[in-house]
Amino acid sequence: MVALSNGSIDLRQAMSIATRVRVINALTFRELRTRISHNYVGFMGLIIGPLLSILSFSVIFTFLHPLHDDSIDPIIFFTTGIVVFTVFSETSVRAVHAYQANEALFFYRHVRPIDTVVSRALVELGLLCLLTIIILGPYFLIFPNQRIDDLPRLFASVLLTSVFSFGCGVIFMIAGRLYPVIEVFIPMIMRPLWYISGALFSLSHIPQPYRQWLSVNPIIQGVELSRNAFNNHYTLEGTGVSMFYLFTSALVTVVLALWAYTLVEKKLRRSQ
Amino acid sequence: MIQLSNITKSYVHKGQRSYIFRDLSLTLPQGQSVALLGRNGAGKSTLINLIGGIDEPDRGSIERHCSVSWPVGLVGGFQGSLSARENVRFVAMIYCEDEDEIQDKIDFVQDFADIGVYFDRPFKAYSSGMKARVTFGLSMAFDFDVYLIDEITSVGDEAFRVKCREHLMRKRQVSDFIMVDHNLLGLEADCDYALVLVDGQFYRYDDVLEGVEIHKRILVEPGFKELFLAKR
């Protein structure tokens, strides 16, 4: 095991909170520059893709197959479902590739692999919040009688989903770096996850015992909690969904991820 | 001071492990610059990368009681799709306290590199000389206690080479260099001592020229290496 002396100025500098903040700030700047500034088409794609799926699902399910709960407007229903799931899928899939994409930057010793995952998670969260505002801004202008019932609850559920996704992302990154086959595998599980994470259905419409099995998934908890935050009439009764469950899953995942990370950080950075 | 204790470093290729260092311990004292000498593949760059924290050893510890640069003038940390300005800003954001300082660093590198409008174009479109101007300028923009100088293969035209040398000499007044031998800038002579790397072990020569002599004889004279190691 590598021992580092506590007296080292350099180490203290590398570990300090101020350095972490600066590194994450710099990585976030770089991530945004790479993804947006040089490619306005890419930014439009970022907005138009989810926008089209939200609109098409809203239209299809409103008229053809009302899967969603009547208590909530289909646009709100699908926006929350798609955005919250995308927070998870984008954060965790991008985390898998975070190491490779930023490998050149480990040239600067202060940049640590986990910083790349933190900055990617922040960028995803920021971009998807922006997307939500772009979609729902006009919606609330057109339907002024619609309102968000519980804004703090909405923030809490999206944030906790993001924290949970970050934890998963760190674990995926470690696994992918140690066993490269996992890098291929992770994006593949996103499609089945999409179908079981409640982006397209209400948990209360699913019969038991499937309902309780599906509710184990923290992403569906995040999705359902956000819908409930928009409209308190959207029922969570009997679904097993609770803020406490989402909070606990996020906490356990992050603690587990950080513990695993501290064990293997040196190994991650070591060239083979 | 930089202290390496019981460093073991190996690389695996196609299931075969080859060792660069085994239980290497080395102290690089403060206030002295060192020239690292050894044939290609002896492990000079590996050592630079270990000290720079770019690579980690299999076992052992590295203590840095001072600030250490990244390897000077290498394109390693640059992102091809971003411009020089953005790349420099990224590094400055890591090392600087506030926006004014960041802006100062960017201005310094822009002035030092002197590549005109290309400073705002993607880095991957640069010629090797332009890349060298930017990367070298970036290294010169920051003050470190110790500069790591790996083999620099390109430093642009003669005028720029002179400028680099001048800047390095100025840094040399207050900082230490850990450098790999190369003739491009002709700096070995300015080092305080030489470390000759033979089969994963370092041999110290306080007279740099003597070290260079031994290094050259090991390279070209058949049988000299064995004789050298036998005498040790």
Q: What are the domain boundaries of chain A?
A: 9-269
In the predicted structure, residue A2 carries a pLDDT above the cut 50? no
In this prediction, residue A9 carries a pLDDT of 47
Per DSSP, B150 falls in state P
- Nearest Cβ partner of B79 from A7, A8, A104? A104
In the predicted structure, residue A158 carries a pLDDT above the cut 90? yes
In this prediction, residue A67 carries a pLDDT of 55
Look at B57 and A22 and tell me if their CB atoms are within 8 Å. no
Q: For residue A64, what pLDDT band results from cuts at 50, 70 and 90?
A: low
In the predicted structure, residue B62 carries a pLDDT above the cut 60? yes
Other CB atoms within a 10 A radius of the CB of residue B14 amount to 4
In the predicted structure, residue B183 carries a pLDDT above the cut 70? no
Chain B residues with beta carbon closer than 8 angstroms to that of A13: 67
Chain A residues with beta carbon closer than 8 angstroms to that of B78: 104
Look at B79 and A34 and tell me if their CB atoms are within 8 Å. yes
Average model confidence (pLDDT) for chain B? 86
Q: Is A5 on the interface with B (CB under 8 A)?
A: yes
CA distance A121 to A166: 6
In the predicted structure, residue A222 carries a pLDDT above the cut 90? yes
Q: Out of A51-65, B9-23, B138-152, which region has the weakest mean confidence (pLDDT)?
A: A51-65
Look at B93 and A25 and tell me if their CB atoms are within 8 Å. yes
Look at A34 and B77 and tell me if their CB atoms are within 8 Å. no
Task: Using DSSP, state whether A71 is helix, strand or coil.
Answer: coil
Q: For residue A8, what pLDDT band results from cuts at 50, 70 and 90?
A: very low
- The residue in chain A having the minimum alpha-carbon distance to the alpha carbon of residue B50 is A270
Q: For residue A117, what pLDDT band results from cuts at 50, 70 and 90?
A: very high
Cβ partners under 8 Å of residue A248, min gap 6 = none
Look at B79 and A105 and tell me if their CB atoms are within 8 Å. yes
In this prediction, residue B184 carries a pLDDT of 53
| Cis bond upstream, residue A209 (ω within 30) | yes
- Min Cα distance A33 → chain B (Å) is 8
Q: For residue A224, what pLDDT band results from cuts at 50, 70 and 90?
A: very high
In this prediction, residue A221 carries a pLDDT of 93
- Min Cα distance B29 → chain A (Å) is 15
- The residue in chain B having the minimum alpha-carbon distance to the alpha carbon of residue A109 is B53
Q: Which position has the token pair 């990224």? A: B90
CA distance A43 to B188: 51
Q: Is A16 on the interface with B (CB under 8 A)?
A: no
